[in-house]
Chains A and B, each alone.
Chain A
Amino acid sequence: MKQPTPFGICKASLSRWVFLTAGWIIVQSQETTVAPPIEPQEVTSPEPSISEGPEALPAAIVIEPMSADTLHLANGDVLSGRLEQYDYPGDTSWNRSDIQQAFAFDSQAVHQIRLGDRAKTTPKLSPSMTLQLSNGDQLSGIMESLDDTVLKLNTSFGGTLDLPADQVQWAVFHRQDQSYLYEGPSGLDGWTVGEVNTAQLDGGQWAYRNGSFYATKAASIARMVGMPDHMQLEFDLEWKGSLNIAVALYTDYLQPVSLAEKDSEPDFGGFYSLQLTSYAVNVLMVKQKEPLQYLGMTQTPVFRQGTKAHVDVRTNKADQSISLLVNGKLIKRWVDQGGFAGQGKGIRLVHQGQGSVRFSNLKIQGWDGRFESPPSNRVQSPNDLMTLRNGDKLVGRVGSATAEEITFMIGETPTQTPHNQIEKIEWGSVTDTLRPLRGGEARAHLLGGDHLTIQLRRIEGEHMHSSSPLYGDTTLQISHFERLDFVDAPTTTANGKQGAQP
């Protein structure tokens, strides 16, 4: 199945970069031998390093997916269970196996509902585009048509939505000629869960739940994904407390490796360990019978300033480089002067024993070696800007569209361009209408990272009944959603803002 290429990443101003996609991870323990930078006049303890554990289990451990929903209330209470019904105005009915009668909470007291796994009752479409509306909503689907007033977008979660054409700020067209080598996680199948269990670390395991891996203790999980020579690997990361993870790239070994005792570990091929901490990022070249080689640590506040980030890793075997982008911004490009050491095609994600980590939207695909261009159309511009995959930029007005092509007006001259030749369209004169959520409104987050703002009237069974000035009255499939926010989070990303630019 063809999958789209995530839209632009390396924008000049990625301050609102968040929508996105993809990710994955890896790990390594005891790979962190670097003490974090010290705040002026403060003595900061060195980051404890985690051992990947010489006692790794030989076989994969199966952990059943967890399916509970989680309710967050206004007083800070958290309750697992199952959402039975939501009405606004009205009550939220919440049930558990250990209570005799369901809870009935005033829906005004509900701040967030994290949704557990649900069977998908509608097929998942392969979206052809992702677009952003003036209120910050981002949604993906297949464009069916566009005229002066309406953009019809066919979505997995809500069928065909009629979007007001004058509220679309940008659209990124997904490449249909390239599929993801991996997209998930969607469970533990295919992953090898290793156990980090040393005298110094309280070992745990990654757990899967509704599109995400969670780890609250030192843990390792790995799989073979057929990493190509030129690769783009993306994932979303959320953490609590200190961040200290390692992602092994191009590994041929699925069990955690104790770097301190790597030469006595079972045979494994060379790999790179990308280390992400609250203080710094680093890449370590790991080979048996050879000294560990640090390719260079870079101190960065990006993981200290927030609790979420979109991580984007680009590799190029030809020039022996590994590049790290966080929230669309290039943090560091490492070059291994000794030649590319990665000998496998797998990844391994290691929680190094500190803090809690949530890992989602992992996507791996081939990379053409090109970093995306920054947005170039000014919001106040009266013209629209269409960027083609060959680099051409057309200034004019978007006229109409069918499911196959866009009619773009250059002056009075219409040009038809097939979707697959378009990288992105930025509409002019569509200003932001961002505002905080109001009573009864919800920001509904889809699996995969999109989100939309709706007036949520009722949730019953698998359906969410909502209304919106942008979407009208809609019935959405709850199984495609990851969570519902009823109040704005104070800070949502490492750069503190929501939204993204193409």
Chain B
Amino acid sequence: MLLMGIATSLQAQDATHHSTPAPEIIELTDGSTLHGKAHALSASQGLEWQHPLARHPVTFDLSHLARLRLHTVGRIEASRQPDCRFEFNNGDLIYGNLLSLKSNAVEFQTWFGGTMRSDRQALKRIAFLKTGYKVLYEGPNNIDEWQLGAGQNGWSYHDGKLKIQSRGVIGRDFQLKDSVNLTFDMRWDRPYQLSITLFTDTFNRFDYRQGSYIFFLSPQFVSFQRVQPGTGVLTLGQSRIETLNGRSEARFSIRAHRESSRFIVYINDEPAGRFRDNRGFVAQGKGISFSSQLSASSFELSNLLVTQWDGSDEAEGEIEPTPENDILSLVNQDRPKGTVVAIEDESIEFLLRKERAIRVPVERVKQIQFNSGTDIPSPPLAEPKTIRAHFAGGGSLSFDLISLDHDQLHGQSSTFGPMSFRSDSIRQIEFNLNHQALQKDEAADAIWNLQSKP
């Protein structure tokens, strides 16, 4: 009964959630999917799983586990909002607060793991988030937290996904203010047309009486419109999408920033459209609505994450790492090369071109791209015990599993050494990290069956 109660303890943190804990779900590498409850998990003993329709628990070894979805709803709880995004060479990504950086080590604070330290060489990039990293919503968690359009409405909720097979509108208040970064995974069976209205207060229909911005998404196009009372609807731009041909799933990131009146759509981490409202930001609402425009469409949205956005465009600011130099990306667009000696007291000690020592206030730096070194990091081993934990609010870490109990997830990382996290901070755990490649088409029937699940 080690994990019993994880979801329950988290429910209390968000009054909008159901009183009934959502079931946990395991996905296996062959496409099998089971609801139930994890009783125990460890590298040595495997996963003890109680299925609601089974007579007794069954213990899986880790060899065929793909994912454990915990449906935790923990929120970032910290006295200080994360203001840095730490990216590591092994793919790990963490939001936290930088405590110090020295020639051989970096130390930072996280809400889920307390103070963490790593070898400096493991660090790929630090992005300094001007307005901090504030999570406004993470879900979906149930249908009740959403407002459905009147009349016939095809939206439904199941297992962390909003699904629709016809037309319909759904939305909710996210307490948006000056910016938003809406990210979600989308999977579709048929051509779709999804309109997303940002900064609206009307969630169950289109409302042209208040200012808002509408993104129209289809497999071929993204178009962007401004809705302004008295002025009507004006298309501000359109981009053709070439990357979704033949695809049936993608991750979208839709961003808006009041101060700069900038709007960006990312698809699978690549920019798909950049727009600007030259008349200034006209919308005042606090919510977002999703509308399916086709009666014959069939798609689902999952892993919705709504955060504030500091207006930075990582694709524009992308810097090619070099083997020897660290590169600062400054707010004035300069990109000096050299060596970051240390970061302390909101100041970066920087050896410019490795010759001249200067100090740069952190507030003047958007990001630091650390040198890639001459040793190419090897990819994570494909051992079953190597897992990737995805945290509530974003970020993930890969490490070797030791055990998971009702309070803590214990592991061993080559980057961070021994570590323990609050188990209620973990949304899901991935196992057998290369199973996607292994699976390919060798389990077509399993994929087929997987697609049958509700």
On whether A75 and B35 interact (CB within 8 A), knowing A200-B245, A216-B447, A353-B246, the answer reads: yes
On whether A240 and B445 interact (CB within 8 A), knowing A44-B296, A45-B191, A77-B33, the answer reads: no
Residues from chain B with a CB closer than 8 A to the CB of A355 are 189, 248
Whether, in the assembled complex, A46 has its beta carbon less than 8 Å from a beta carbon of chain B, the answer is yes
Whether, in the assembled complex, B2 has its beta carbon less than 8 Å from a beta carbon of chain A, the answer is no
Main SS of the interface on chain A?
A: loop
B228-244 contact mask (Cβ, 8 Å, vs A): 1 or 0: 00000000000000100
Whether, in the assembled complex, A358 has its beta carbon less than 8 Å from a beta carbon of chain B, the answer is yes
Residues from chain A with a CB closer than 8 A to the CB of B242 are 200
Residues from chain B with a CB closer than 8 A to the CB of A354 are 246, 248
B199-243 contact mask (Cβ, 8 Å, vs A): 1 or 0: 000000000000000000011100000000000000000000010
Main SS of the interface on chain B?
A: loop
B73-107 contact mask (Cβ, 8 Å, vs A): 1 or 0: 00000000000000000000000000000000000
Residues from chain A with a CB closer than 8 A to the CB of B245 are 48, 200-201, 353
* Minimal beta-carbon separation of B300 from chain A (angstroms): 12
State whether A207 touches B442 (Cβ < 8 A): yes
State whether B444 touches A201 (Cβ < 8 A): no
State whether B448 touches A241 (Cβ < 8 A): no
* Minimal beta-carbon separation of B31 from chain A (angstroms): 7
Whether, in the assembled complex, A202 has its beta carbon less than 8 Å from a beta carbon of chain B, the answer is yes
Out of A39, A91, A99, name the residue touching B59 (CB < 8 Å): A99
Out of B53, B61, B188, B247, name the residue touching A109 (CB < 8 Å): B53
Task: Tell me the B152-171 residues at the A interface (CB within 8 Å).
Answer: none
Residues of B within 8 A of A (CB-CB), count: 54
A75 to B454, CA, bound (A): 9
Residues from chain B with a CB closer than 8 A to the CB of A207 are 441-445
Q: Determine the residue in chain A with the shortest Cβ distance to B443.
A: A66
State whether A45 touches B218 (Cβ < 8 A): yes
* Minimal beta-carbon separation of A94 from chain B (angstroms): 9
A101 to B59, CA, bound (A): 7
On whether A79 and B219 interact (CB within 8 A), knowing A48-B246, A104-B55, the answer reads: no
A205 to B442, CA, bound (A): 9
Residues from chain B with a CB closer than 8 A to the CB of A358 are 448
On whether A106 and B55 interact (CB within 8 A), knowing A80-B449, A201-B246, the answer reads: yes
* Minimal beta-carbon separation of B169 from chain A (angstroms): 16
Residues from chain A with a CB closer than 8 A to the CB of B248 are 241, 354-355
State whether B58 touches A100 (Cβ < 8 A): yes
Whether, in the assembled complex, A204 has its beta carbon less than 8 Å from a beta carbon of chain B, the answer is yes
A91 to B54, CA, bound (A): 9
A105 to B52, CA, bound (A): 9
A407 to B451, CA, bound (A): 52
Q: Determine the residue in chain B with the shortest Cβ distance to A48.
A: B245
State whether B193 touches A43 (Cβ < 8 A): yes
* Minimal beta-carbon separation of B423 from chain A (angstroms): 23
Residues from chain B with a CB closer than 8 A to the CB of A353 are 245-246
Whether, in the assembled complex, A371 has its beta carbon less than 8 Å from a beta carbon of chain B, the answer is no
Task: Tell me the B418-443 residues at the A interface (CB within 8 Å).
Answer: 440-443
Residues from chain A with a CB closer than 8 A to the CB of B53 are 73-75, 77, 105-106, 109
Q: Determine the residue in chain A with the shortest Cβ distance to B45.
A: A100
Q: Determine the residue in chain A with the shortest Cβ distance to B451.
A: A240
State whether A42 touches B32 (Cβ < 8 A): no
Residues from chain B with a CB closer than 8 A to the CB of A174 are none
On whether A101 and B58 interact (CB within 8 A), knowing A204-B440, A216-B448, A304-B296, the answer reads: yes
On whether A200 and B444 interact (CB within 8 A), knowing A77-B34, A99-B59, A103-B54, the answer reads: no
Whether, in the assembled complex, B115 has its beta carbon less than 8 Å from a beta carbon of chain A, the answer is no
Whether, in the assembled complex, A72 has its beta carbon less than 8 Å from a beta carbon of chain B, the answer is yes
A22-50 contact mask (Cβ, 8 Å, vs B): 1 or 0: 00000000000000000100111111101
On whether A77 and B54 interact (CB within 8 A), knowing A42-B294, A48-B246, A207-B444, the answer reads: no
Q: Determine the residue in chain B with the shortest Cβ distance to A304.
A: B296
A86-114 contact mask (Cβ, 8 Å, vs B): 1 or 0: 00000100001111111111100100001
Whether, in the assembled complex, B56 has its beta carbon less than 8 Å from a beta carbon of chain A, the answer is yes
A48 to B244, CA, bound (A): 9
State whether A39 touches B295 (Cβ < 8 A): yes
Q: Determine the residue in chain B with the shortest Cβ distance to A208.
A: B444
A97 to B59, CA, bound (A): 11
Out of A81, A91, A114, A215, name the residue touching B55 (CB < 8 Å): A91
Known: A80-B446, A214-B447. 15 other contacts (CB 8 A): A70-B445, A72-B449, A76-B454, A77-B33, A80-B32, A105-B53, A200-B245, A204-B440, A207-B445, A215-B441, A216-B444, A217-B246, A217-B441, A241-B298, A356-B448
**Which A residues fall within an 8 A CB radius of B?**
39, 42-48, 50, 63, 66, 68, 70, 72-81, 91, 96-106, 109, 114, 200-202, 204-207, 209, 214-219, 240-242, 278, 304, 353-356, 358
Sample of 19 A–B contacts (CB below 8 Å): A42-B193, A70-B446, A76-B453, A77-B51, A78-B449, A78-B450, A99-B58, A99-B60, A100-B46, A100-B61, A105-B53, A201-B245, A205-B444, A206-B444, A240-B451, A241-B248, A242-B190, A242-B191, A353-B245
**Which B residues fall within an 8 A CB radius of A?**
28, 30-35, 46, 51-56, 58-61, 63-64, 188-193, 218-220, 242, 245-248, 293-296, 298, 440-454
